[in-house]
Structure 1
Amino acid sequence: MRARAHIVAEADGRGGTRLAVLHGESPLLLRRTGPVRDTGVTVHLVGGAAGPLRGDELRLDIEVGPGARLEMLSVAASLALPGRPAPASRLTVTASVAAGGTLRWLPEPLIAASGCDHVAVTRVAVEAGGSLLWRDDLVCGRHGEEPGDVRADTLIRYAGTTLYRHELAVGPRAPGWDGAAVLGGARAIGTLVAAGPDHPSSVRTSGPLSAPRSHATAAPSSVPTSGAHGGLSSHATAAPPSVPTSGAHSGPSSHATAAPPSVPTSGAHSAPSSHATAAAGGRAAVMPLAGPGWLATAVGDDIREVRAALDPLCRRPLSPVPA
Structure 2
Amino acid sequence: MRAVPDGRGGTVLPLLAGDGPLALRRTGPPGGTGAHVTVVGAMTAPLGGDRLRIEAEAAAGARLTVGASAATVSLPGRGGEQARYDVRLTVGAGAELRWLPEPLIAARGSDLTMTTRARLAPGARLVLREEQVLGRHDEPSGRLAARLTVEYEGRPLLDQELSFGPGTAPGWDGPAVLGGHRAVGQLLLVAPDLGDHAAELADVPAEYGRAALTALAGPALLVTAIAPDGRHLRTLLDGYLRRFSAT
Same fold (TM over 0.5): yes
Report the Cα distance in structure 2 between the residues aligned to 1:72 and 1:316, rounded to whole angstroms.
20
Deviation (angstroms), 1:304: 1.4
Letter in 2 for 1:192: L
1:301 aligned residue (225, 228, 232): 228
1:277–1:287 CA contact under 8 A, matched in 2? no
Letter in 1 for 2:162: L
| Alignment match, 1:39 | 33
2:171 aligned residue (165, 168, 176): 176
2:86–2:115 CA contact under 8 A, matched in 1? yes
Q: 1:162 to 1:93 in 2, by over 3 A?
A: same
2:201–2:210 CA contact under 8 A, matched in 1? no
| Alignment match, 1:127 | 121
Larger-gyration structure (1/2): 1
Determine what percentage of the aligned residue pairs are the same residue: 46
Deviation (angstroms), 1:313: 2.8
| Alignment match, 2:9 | 15
**CA offset digits 1:87-107 (Å, max 9, x no partner):** 311010001101110000011
1:43–1:73 CA contact under 8 A, matched in 2? yes
Q: 1:277 to 1:316 in 2, by over 3 A?
A: closer
Q: What secondary structure sits across from 1:23 in the alignment?
A: coil
| Alignment match, 2:103 | 109
Matched residues, number: 243
TM-score, normalised with respect to structure 1: 0.72
The structure in which a higher percent of residues are strand is: 2
Deviation (angstroms), 1:133: 0.5
| Alignment match, 2:201 | 277
Q: State the 4+ residue runs in structure 1 displaced beyond 4 angstroms.
A: 315-319
**CA offset digits 1:172-207 (Å, max 9, x no partner):** 01121101222121100110001023x6143xxxxx
2:35–2:64 CA contact under 8 A, matched in 1? yes
Report the Cα distance in structure 2 between the residues aligned to 1:194 and 1:279, rounded to whole angstroms.
20
2:80–2:111 CA contact under 8 A, matched in 1? no
| Alignment match, 2:189 | 194
Q: 1:293 to 1:318 in 2, by over 3 A?
A: closer
1:150–1:170 CA contact under 8 A, matched in 2? yes
Report the Cα distance in structure 1 between the residues aligned to 2:15 and 2:244, rounded to whole angstroms.
24
| Alignment match, 1:30 | 24
Structure 2: which 5+ runs fail to align? none
Deviation (angstroms), 1:83: 1.8
The yes-or-no answer on 1:51 pairing with 2:51 is no
Report the Cα distance in structure 1 between the residues aligned to 2:179 and 2:101, rounded to whole angstroms.
24
**CA offset digits 1:242-297 (Å, max 9, x no partner):** xxxxxxxxxxxxxxxxxxxxxxxxxxxxxxx2233343347111111111010011
Q: What secondary structure sits across from 2:81 in the alignment?
A: coil
Q: What secondary structure sits across from 2:16 in the alignment?
A: strand
Letter in 2 for 1:309: L
Higher mean alpha-carbon deviation, 132-141 vs 304-313, is at 304-313
Report the Cα distance in structure 1 between the residues aligned to 2:245 and 2:4, rounded to whole angstroms.
15
1:84 aligned residue (78, 95, 101): 78
| Alignment match, 2:219 | 292
Q: What secondary structure sits across from 1:60 in the alignment?
A: strand
Q: What secondary structure sits across from 1:145 in the alignment?
A: coil
